[in-house]
Amino acid sequence: MSDAAVPADLTGTSFEKAVAELESIVARLERGDVALDESIAIYERGELLKKHCETLLSAAENRIEKIRLDRAGKPVGTEPLDGA
């Protein structure tokens, strides 16, 4: 998801905040006390939040590195966690 695809109100939204809002939407939908039109709207919002969270998580995973050690156990650099 590129920044152009992120709704303006989600730009800069942290992963934790997006997850909290998504959890709130799921709880409202599970209660079943939301009108159909509103259910559709908040479901669509939930889809946007899910995609935003996936993008943030993917970016974080791409930044994770493991520390390489020499034979003496001293750090000598980093490499991608998955070895790629």
User: Which residue shows structure tokens 């479901």?
Assistant: 43
| pLDDT over 60 (residue 69) | yes
β partners of residue 66: 79
- C-alpha 45/C-alpha 41 separation (Å) is 6
Q: How far is CA 74 from the centre of its chain?
A: 34
| Between 3 and 17, the higher pLDDT residue | 17
| pLDDT over 90 (residue 44) | yes
Long-range contacts of the stretch 9-16 (C-beta < 8 A, 24+): 10/48, 10/49, 10/52, 13/52, 14/56, 15/53, 15/56, 15/57, 15/60
| pLDDT over 70 (residue 33) | yes
Residue range 40-65: average pLDDT? 91
> In which band, very low, low, confident or very high, does the pLDDT at 71 lie, cut at 50, 70 and 90?
confident
